[in-house]
A = this chain, B = another copy of it.
């Protein structure tokens, strides 16, 4: 972490920044956004702030002032050209117990991190053994309860793959551990509708809009593992790492396909 603002204030030390009573720590009671800073700007900023505002509605958090957040993001980026900005929004400090204090005010933390290490465009994936619990009340939003992902990320790493693919407890395909998953089959673009679990990534949203505008058939719905294995093309999306083609899923191999390259090209054009 290069620098951090807590409720707009630079703490004397990042190691002593947060309230011990914060509900973000005690219950994961909040949301986060992880944003790419590229060439001095956050190209997907408005998508991130929109998703955050939607998450607040879903968790019955009072909506934050998005203009203040935007100003603080600008402030923490300062003259930096490249990096990652993380925003954490919690239900604030409160007494013990699940019930929120009616008087608590949100905690907002905005931190600047160094750029991610360069990695290959093409990625390899494998199935994770751990499955995601299904809960439509939490599905789609980027909340702070991420133990499933913490446990799951160890599996592909141990097996030498770049990312793990996750099923939910009913055996449906959700996403990769920290990316959304897209398939191309017979020219149509398919991805989970994430009604039961998973995060609706901002890059996922951008790719869906690009595909629709390009006249590609888009299907959001339930996917099974066989759908992935039989797909003509597979790729991942992530707000920081962009769109990356999947070239291997265990024994299955793919070449980078034309729809993947078309969407990647248009994405680069929009975000550059």
Contact = CB atoms under 8 A, between A and B. Distances in A.
Interface of A: 1, 4, 6, 11-12, 14-29, 32, 34, 59-60, 84, 86, 88, 90-91, 93, 95-100, 109, 111, 113, 130-135, 137-138, 143-154, 157, 169, 177-178, 196-197
A133 B22 contact: no
A22 B25 contact: yes
8 contacts: A1-B20, A16-B19, A18-B19, A26-B144, A27-B146, A27-B149, A29-B147, A130-B135
Contact of A22 (B18, B28, B95): B18
A20 B32 contact: no
A13 to B, nearest CB: 8
A25 B144 contact: yes
A236 B6 CA distance: 40
A145 B177 CA distance: 17
A59 B151 contact: yes
B86 A150 contact: no
B135 A133 contact: yes
A79 B272 CA distance: 63
Contacts of A100: 150
Nearest to A129: B137
A15 B93 CA distance: 9
Nearest to A111: B20
